[in-house]
């Protein structure tokens, strides 16, 4: 009985994974996509509206006209290239806000909802080329459906754990006590490696977007050097959602050389 239940659980998990896979049109990589981009965008829009409303109430929205114009001017050029790379994103309701915060951060949700934190602008003091690299990287996460993929993997993870607990219960074992440990192990084995892969993909596609928009790809290297010099210890690469700093810098230098002709063509136009 226990063997049949375990076999059923294994088959069910495999069927779940196969049913929820899709090939990304930009990278060609197979992704877990039980959650669609439209569903992720809807969730993002709701969260973004709440965040902006809360920030407005707390006077945490940047109101300096020059800062806002700079960020939106750069984002507009990048969005134009993003829409060429993935035409259906022309239907997205793109939006960017500058949030007053000491955090050195920026992000782009599914559906094109973006934020740049003032802490990044103050601490890093990025040039326009460097700021474009930050924003292009974050836009690429949305273009590459990384948020929908992450939500899908979390859904698969929880479903797999539930099937495992059920199989154990039918076989006469109480699996509830190890469910938390299994959940942590699944996160390390399933979600974090994908996140590192997602970061590498966003580095490459982001630099391409920025170069096509007329921003120097070499700025990605100088930006990351500034980020490293901004301080703070990093967790081990195995438990990090970002690649090792030295490896990432080497990769960016190679990408910069690759995309210099794209940048020069864009500047010539």
Can you tell me which residue has the tokens 């992450």?
A: 150
Q: In a 3-state reduction of DSSP, which class is residue 32?
A: strand
Q: Hey, how many other C-beta atoms are within 10 angstroms of the C-beta on 108?
A: 29
Residue 138 among the catalytic residues: yes
Using CA atoms, how far residue 203 sits from 169, 232, 266, in Å, is 45, 21, 19
Q: Alpha-carbon distance 142 to 108, whole Å? A: 6
Tell me if 256 sits within 8 A of 249, measured CB to CB: no
Q: Alpha-carbon distance 269 to 14, whole Å? A: 50
Strand ranges, E, within the chain? 21-23, 30-32, 95-99, 106-108, 113-117
DSSP element (H, E) containing 112: none
Q: In a 3-state reduction of DSSP, which class is residue 109?
A: coil
Q: Alpha-carbon distance 96 to 198, whole Å? A: 22
Q: Alpha-carbon distance 266 to 11, whole Å? A: 51
**How does 143-156 read in b/e, with b if 16+ C-beta sit within 10 Å?**
bbbbbbbbbbbbeb
Q: Alpha-carbon distance 237 to 246, whole Å? A: 11
Residue 151 token pair: 């939500």
- The one catalytic residue among 62, 95, 138, 149: 138
Q: Which residues are catalytic?
A: 138
């Amino acid at each position: 009985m226990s063997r049949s239940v375990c076999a059923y659980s294994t088959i069910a998990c495999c069927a779940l994974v196969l049913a929820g896979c899709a090939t990304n049109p930009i990278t060609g990589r197979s992704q877990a996509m039980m959650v669609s981009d439209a569903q992720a965008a809807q969730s993002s829009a709701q969260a973004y509206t709440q965040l902006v409303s809360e920030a407005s109430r707390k006077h945490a929205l940047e109101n300096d006209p020059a800062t806002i114009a700079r960020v939106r001017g750069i984002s507009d050029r990048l969005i134009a290239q993003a829409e060429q790379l993935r035409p259906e994103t022309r239907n997205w309701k793109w939006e960017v806000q500058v949030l007053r915060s000491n955090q050195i951060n920026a992000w782009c949700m599914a559906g094109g909802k973006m934020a740049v934190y003032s802490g990044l602008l103050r601490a890093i003091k990025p040039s326009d080329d460097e700021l474009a690299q930050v924003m292009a990287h974050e836009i690429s996460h949305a273009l590459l459906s990384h948020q929908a993929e992450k939500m899908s993997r979390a859904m698969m993870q929880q479903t797999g754990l539930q099937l495992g607990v059920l199989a154990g219960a039918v076989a006469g074992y109480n699996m509830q006590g190890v469910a938390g440990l299994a959940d942590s192990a699944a996160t390390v084995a399933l979600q974090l490696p994908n996140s590192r892969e997602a970061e590498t993909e966003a580095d490459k596609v982001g630099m391409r977007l920025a170069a096509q928009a007329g921003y120097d790809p070499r700025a990605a290297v100088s930006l990351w050097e500034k980020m490293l010099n901004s301080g703070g210890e990093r967790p081990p690469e195995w438990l990090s959602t970002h690649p090792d700093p030295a490896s990432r810098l080497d990769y960016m230098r190679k990408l910069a050389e690759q995309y210099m002709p794209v940048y020069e063509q864009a500047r010539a136009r």
